[in-house]
A and B are shown apart, each in its own frame.
Chain A
Amino acid sequence: GENVEQHPSTLSVQEGDSAVIKCTYSDSASNYFPWYKQELGKRPQLIIDIRSNVGEKKDQRIAVTLNKTAKHFSLHITETQPEDSAVYFCAATFTGGGNKLTFGTGTQLKVEL
């Protein structure tokens, strides 16, 4: 079935360090993998996404990598800052689901001073 597993559930890093969040998915035909950031009391907002025909995508301090063979993708945040503290969700589309996204369970990232 449609399944996205996300790890870790919580992550604490020192300001300036890197943070990595990993997700695995079950459908080898999945072709779209967005990442959302949700600050406390706010809506989830897209921060970066990647399509199945690309292995890596970068936008300033954030990057996403995709390994289709292993069916996993990761979010990398470099030079973390306090404003990066939030819950991050990975997601994936699945065959026959159109634009429906299946979300991971979220990672609470805390960037400590």
Chain B
Amino acid sequence: DAGVIQSPRHEVTEMGQEVTLRCKPISGHDYLFWYRQTMMRGLELLIYFNNNVPIDDSGMPEDRFSAKMPNASFSTLKIQPSEPRDSAVYFCASSFGVGGWGTQYFGPGTRLLVL
């Protein structure tokens, strides 16, 4: 099992550019989560999906952020336009299970730097 796969691993871009982060969850998992981690704000949940449907996007900071999950094997997090304050590590995680007992497995993260 390859685990959760994220790409790119590192991204450096200039303010105003569009950034797209990609995630492939573990096969068979029905939940997918996007997190952002910074020193100042810690680990923040941005949005999560269940069976490809967005369930809670209350953590998405602003309209510049959008996320999609077109199928069970792929999700994207897009930032348009990007700003320096978006610089962070973005993690994708997936889980499987009912009753709120599903362990979340994290991908390696995408380290984003917006200049």
Q: A99 to B97: give the CA distance in the assembly, Å.
A: 7
Docked Cα-Cα span, A2 to B45, in Å, equals 13
- Chain B residues in the interface with A (C-beta under 8 A): 31, 33, 42-43, 45, 48, 50, 55-56, 91, 95, 97, 99-109
Once the chains are docked, how many angstroms separate the CA of A30 from the CA of B56? Answer: 18
Interchain CB contact under 8 A, A51 and B43: no
Write the chain A residue with the least CB distance to B43: A103
On whether the beta carbons of A43 and B43 are closer than 8 Å, the reply is no
Residues of A within 8 A of B45 (CB): 100-103
Q: Chain B residue with minimal CB distance to A89?
A: B43
Q: A93 within 8 Å of B by Cβ? A: yes
> Which chain B residues lie closer than 8 Å to A103 at the CB level?
42-43, 45
Verify B91–A98 contact, CB threshold 8 A: no
The interface on chain A, measured as residues whose beta carbon lies within 8 A of the other chain's beta carbons, has a size of 23
**Chain A neighbourhood of B48, CB < 8 A:** 100
- Chain B contact residues, majority secondary structure: strand
> Which residues of A sit under 8 angstroms from B102, Cβ to Cβ?
32, 98-99
Residue of A nearest to B95 (CB): A99
Q: Which residues of A contact B103 (CB under 8 A)?
A: 34, 46, 49
CA–CA, A102 and B105, complex, Å = 14
Complex Cα spacing A31 to B99, Å: 8
Partner of A105, one of B42, B100, B105: B42
B104 touches A101 (CB 8 A): yes
Complex Cα spacing A59 to B86, Å = 38
Please name all residues of chain A whose beta carbon is closer than 8 Å to the beta carbon of B43 when the two chains form the complex: 44, 89, 103, 106
